[in-house]
Structure 1
Amino acid sequence: MGVKGLNQLIKEHAPSAFKEYQLKNLFGRKVAIDASMCLYQFLIAVRQSDGQQLTNEDGETTSHLSGMFYRTIRMVENGIKPVYVFDGKPPVLKGGELEKRLKRREEAQKEQEKIKETGSVEEIMKYEKRQVRVSREQNDEAKKLLDLMGIPYVNAPCEAEAQCAVLARDGKVFAAASEDMDTLCYQPPFLLRHLTFSEARKMPIDQIDYKLAMEGLGMDQDTFVDLCILLGCDYCETIRGVGPVTAFKLIKEHGSLEKLVEYLEQNPDKTKFKVPENWPYKEARELFLHPEVEAASEVNLKWSEPDVDGLIEYMVKQKGFSEERMRSGAEKLKKGLKGGVQGRLDGFFQVVSTVKKDTKGGAKKRGATTDAKGKAKKRK
């Protein structure tokens, strides 16, 4: 679910934290991607002309495999080296949110049955998409495909977005990619949104700079996490009536959830807001500040050439994809991974300031380019 209203708050208070990119602008970058989130996107978006999910001759859904294969190739062609991160066991506190999602799917199924005979194709598809979930089998199929493509993946012990953020924070990759804004609670230097959307959506990739976001909001990590909990996260319910603007104002006024809760409980006549009984905000905060993740130093990322014969056996013979497209895709992977090895020029060269006196005796700043070893190079 992410955090309600956080994207807009950051845009309002820290507009400099946002940059819009196309895939080509991320050339040479390694990116950790929330796999479950993008598989869900593929199951929603990759459809036949009649709106139904892609299936093979046996009726097995293949939309997730199609999306994973072609979108990954598109990233690699643009010099990006993706690593996918899969969810582990959900935190106990998330149980309530998962139960709500199950109920929403059940309600959507009932509504779809009601209009099965009389509803339009669009109405039926709307309720069908609300029932979509990524199964364990589909996760396993995606992992097998990635193995054959030579693309690394990580099995997170708990939340995938937390693992993505830690890999980025500790320098294993450049950024974490997820649609969930709560990824920022784990302090990735950069969060990429819309990276795995298809070109058909014509939506630019948003890059959010964590440091600039905190500066614009005027918060440290602890205060920011408290804001996210107040806005609404997967781990506990919200205080009814507190929207994004009010939540930001209350956290800025009181500084922490402890002080806010104390104020609300001691002044019931001065405010209409009521704190939920046994509100587990402290436990939610602990999950954000100390997530269960594998240390980045223990994660080994290796990109390798695709197993063409394995792809043919699995994707063509078992899943019904075109052999020609699989072979073409494998060639693009080989070429793209070799090209991406060049890396980015801004990763090898950096600009430093030097001072040179001008003819009037004053100081004049000049930029000098240095290589990765710190040796100065003359400007051209």
Structure 2
Amino acid sequence: MGIKGLNALVSENAPRAITSSEMKSLFGRKIAIDASMCLYQFLIAMRQQDGSNLTNEAGETTSHIMGFFYRTIRMVSLGIKPCYVFDGKPPVLKGGELEKRLKRREEAEAKAKELKETGSVEELQKFERRTVRATRQHNEDAKKLLKLMGIPFVEAPCEAEAQCAELAKKGKVYAAASEDMDTLCYKPPYLLRNVTAAESRKLKVDEFNSEKILEGFEMDLNTFVDMCILLGCDYCETIKGVGPVTAMKLIKEHGSIEKIIEAIEKNPKSKYRVPENWPYKEARELFLHPEVKDGNEVDLKWTEPDVDGLIQYMVRENGFSEQRIRDGAEKLKKGLKTGTQGRLDGFFKVTGTIKKRPAEDDKKKGGKKKAKTTKSRKK
């Protein structure tokens, strides 16, 4: 779900923190991608004309396999080196949100069943998309494919977004890529959105600079995380009656959730209601000190694809075109070699303080030295 309303608040209060550019501008970059988000995107987007999932002869879904294969090739062909990060066990606090998602999915399944008899194709497809869930088998399929493609992946101990941010903070990758805005709470140097979106060929990639966001809001990370909890996250409910604008106003005025609660409790006429046993402190801890693998201990390696293995898995087991898979493997080989050339901005770095030239010093002194030099030349 991410953080409710955060994208709009960042756009309004820290517009300089966001830049939009073509995917090709990421040439030479390594990026860590939220694989769990990709699974949902591909299962929803990669479908047959009648709206049903792509399947192999055994009736097993292959939409996610197709998505990972072709989207990854596109990135690599543009000189980008992606690595994928898979979710581990969900935090205990996320249980309530997961239950809500399950209930919504069950309601969508019931509605889809009803619409098969009476509804239009468009209505049916709308509710069928809401029934999508990524299974353990889908995850294992994606990992097997990535290994054959020579693309590294990381299994996070907990939240994938937090691990993506950790890899970026430790310099293993340039940025974390996810559609979830709560990734900003883990403070990666940069967050990328629309990298794997279904409309990625049309959409530009949005890059969020974490430091500039904090500067724009005039907050430190602790205060920013408190604001995000007030906005609404996956870990706990919000204060009743507090929307995005009010959340930012309250945090600006009081500085922390504790002080906001104190102000509400002191005012018997307050229209805001703090939830009972509100676990905001636990949510804060999950954002500020997430369970992740130390980025320094993660070794990311991109290798040549196993063409024979890809043919066996993609063609013989899942029914894809052999020529297309071979062509894709060649693009992978070529793209990974091109990506190793790196970016020009990686070679030019400012080291130390730039000293002023003598002429600039002369100007500061009123040009006396320069006049003397000119006089001596006349002699």
Query: What TM-score, normalized to structure 2?
Result: 0.93
Q: CA deviation at 1:51?
A: 1.8
Bigger mean CA offset, 74-83 vs 45-54: 45-54
SS of 1:9 mapped into structure 2: helix
- Measured in 2, the distance between the counterparts of 1:197 and 1:77 equals 17
Aligned to 1:134: 134
Matched, 1:102 2:110: no
Q: Say what the alpha-carbon RMSD is for the aligned residues.
A: 1.3
- Measured in 1, the distance between the counterparts of 2:283 and 2:165 equals 17
Matched, 1:91 2:91: yes
Aligned to 1:247: 247
Matched, 1:230 2:233: no
Aligned to 2:363: 362
SS of 2:311 mapped into structure 1: helix
Q: After superposition, what is the alpha-carbon deviation per residue over 1:117-136, rounded to whole angstroms, capped at 9, x for unaligned?
A: 11000000011000111111
Aligned to 1:220: 220
The amino acid of 1:347's aligned partner reads G
Aligned to 1:302: 301
Aligned to 1:376: none
Q: CA deviation at 1:348?
A: 1.0
1:259-270 aligned at under 5 Å gives the runs 259-269=259-269
Question: Is the helix fraction higher in 1 or 2?
Answer: 2
Aligned to 2:15: 15
- Measured in 2, the distance between the counterparts of 1:309 and 1:116 equals 42
Whether the 8 Å contact between 1:71 and 1:198 is mirrored in structure 2 is no
Give the number of aligned pairs.
Answer: 362
1:38-187 aligned at under 5 Å gives the runs 38-187=38-187
% same residue? 69
Q: CA deviation at 1:202?
A: 1.2
SS of 2:362 mapped into structure 1: coil
Question: Is the strand fraction higher in 1 or 2?
Answer: 1
Q: CA deviation at 1:201?
A: 5.9
- Measured in 2, the distance between the counterparts of 1:325 and 1:46 equals 17
Runs of 5+ consecutive residues of structure 1 not aligned to the other structure: 364-380
Q: CA deviation at 1:357?
A: 4.8
Runs of 5+ consecutive residues of structure 2 not aligned to the other structure: 365-379
SS of 2:241 mapped into structure 1: coil
SS of 1:305 mapped into structure 2: coil
Bigger mean CA offset, 43-52 vs 319-328: 43-52
- Measured in 2, the distance between the counterparts of 1:212 and 1:291 equals 22
Aligned to 2:327: 328
1:32-43 aligned at under 5 Å gives the runs 32-43=32-43
- Measured in 2, the distance between the counterparts of 1:218 and 1:355 equals 34
Query: What TM-score, normalized to structure 1?
Result: 0.93
Q: CA deviation at 1:268?
A: 2.5
Whether the 8 Å contact between 1:40 and 1:134 is mirrored in structure 2 is yes
Q: CA deviation at 1:359?
A: 7.6
Q: CA deviation at 1:354?
A: 4.7
The amino acid of 1:34's aligned partner reads D
The amino acid of 1:276's aligned partner reads P
Q: CA deviation at 1:272?
A: 0.5
Q: CA deviation at 1:199?
A: 4.7
Q: CA deviation at 1:198?
A: 3.7
Q: CA deviation at 1:356?
A: 2.6
Cα 1:121–1:200 shift into 2, 3 Å:
farther
- Measured in 2, the distance between the counterparts of 1:161 and 1:268 equals 40
